[in-house]
């Protein structure tokens, strides 16, 4: 048993890591006293497991008296963007590997044209919804006073998506130039996938972290939350359509394993995005009814 030491105000690294497993609203309310209890109690694996399970529960079913609606919406916007980026990366990969990235295919030549065109239309509209939804946060960063401490960092973080996409497209063009348009080969394709994943990570993480520096709120945050939900709903149309397209395409050809893997990853990501969107929408709707955050 560790003897409590009043002089130790700052929790040790292990305690900070355990407290860090909890949601922000929970930490804001209980972190100090919980850290003190962790330091007073016996450690060990059982304690870590107990805290991890309790923290997971706090994320899944947050206490009603800790419901921070603005914080919930910000978390939803960040999580939805990350999940949506993963869905979009999967959608681009699917389009590229199945129809060479076409926006539209003709029913005369392609038996899965209907599925593919629904998928392409839903994906494209989803991207538009995300882009429109992120206009208010971008405007909030641009409107923030020059002296705002997080403005410069937020601006740099918001530049991450265009810079990353430009770098990816530049790399792809360079690779195409090197191979004289004769196909990039297996290694080149894997390199492009790796770069694509890095690009996706930068596109998701940059704006999501920017929200921490210049935090939008009120109507603009509700618009972004709603747009994220619309984009998720459209991806919920696009993903089954792409799987349907794959089923028709691979009906008499190998490729079923890849399709199953693709469908599973996309379905799990979709569930994450949908859950986060539902919780964000609930917070947004509660906000419009004039409720106030309770702390």
Partner 1 sequence: MVSENDPAVLVLASLADEPRHGYAITQDIADSVGVVLRPGTLYGVLARLEADGLIEALPAQGRRRPYRITALGERTLAEQAAQMRRVADLGLRRLRAAGAMP
Q: Which residues bind partner 1 (CB under 8 A)?
A: 4, 6, 9, 26, 29-30, 32-38, 40-41, 46-47, 50-55, 57-58, 63-66
CB of 39 to partner 1, least distance (A): 9
CA distance 165 to 153: 19
What dihedral angle (degrees, nearest 10) is formed by the CA atoms of 192, 194, 200, 205? -150
Closer residue to partner 1 (CB): 10 or 180? 10
Sequence-distant (6+) residues with CB within 8 A of 85 are 200, 201, 203, 204
CB of 50 to partner 1, least distance (A): 4
Closer residue to partner 1 (CB): 7 or 147? 7
CA distance 291 to 13: 38
CB of 14 to partner 1, least distance (A): 12
CB of 68 to partner 1, least distance (A): 14
Closer residue to partner 1 (CB): 51 or 230? 51
Name the token pair of 79: 């999580």
Sequence-distant (6+) residues with CB within 8 A of 57 are none
Collapse the DSSP code of 185 into the 3-class scheme (helix H, G, I; strand E, B; otherwise coil) and give the result: helix
CB of 173 to partner 1, least distance (A): 52
Greatest alpha-carbon span in the chain: 78
Closer residue to partner 1 (CB): 12 or 104? 12
Closer residue to partner 1 (CB): 41 or 260? 41
């Amino acid at each position: 048993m560790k003897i409590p030491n009043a002089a130790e105000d700052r929790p040790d690294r292990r305690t900070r890591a355990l407290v860090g497993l909890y949601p922000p609203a929970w930490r804001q309310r209980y972190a100090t006293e919980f850290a003190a209890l962790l330091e007073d109690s016996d450690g060990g694996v059982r304690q870590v497991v107990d805290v991890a399970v309790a923290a997971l529960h706090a994320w899944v079913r947050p206490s009603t008296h800790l419901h921070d609606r603005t914080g919930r919406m910000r978390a939803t916007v960040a999580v939805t963007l990350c999940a949506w980026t993963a869905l979009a990366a999967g959608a681009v990969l699917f389009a590229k590997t199945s129809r060479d990235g076409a926006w539209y295919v003709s029913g005369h030549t392609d038996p899965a044209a209907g599925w593919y065109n629904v998928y392409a239309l839903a994906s494209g509209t989803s991207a538009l919804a995300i882009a429109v939804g992120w206009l208010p946060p971008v405007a909030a960063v641009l409107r923030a006073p020059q002296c705002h401490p997080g403005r410069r960092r937020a601006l740099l973080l918001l530049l991450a998506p265009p810079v990353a996409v430009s770098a990816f497209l530049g790399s792809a063009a360079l690779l195409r130039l090197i191979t004289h348009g004769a196909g990039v080969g297996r290694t080149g394709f894997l390199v492009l996938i790796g770069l694509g994943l890095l690009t996706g990570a930068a596109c998701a993480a940059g704006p999501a972290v920017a929200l921490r520096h210049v935090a939008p709120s009120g109507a603009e945050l509700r618009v972004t939350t709603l747009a994220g939900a619309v984009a998720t709903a459209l991806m919920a149309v696009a993903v089954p359509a792409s799987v349907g397209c794959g089923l028709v395409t691979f009906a008499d050809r190998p490729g079923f394993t890849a399709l199953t893997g693709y469908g599973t990853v996309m379905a799990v990501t979709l569930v994450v995005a949908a859950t986060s969107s539902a919780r964000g929408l609930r917070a947004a709707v509660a906000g419009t009814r004039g409720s106030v955050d309770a702390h």
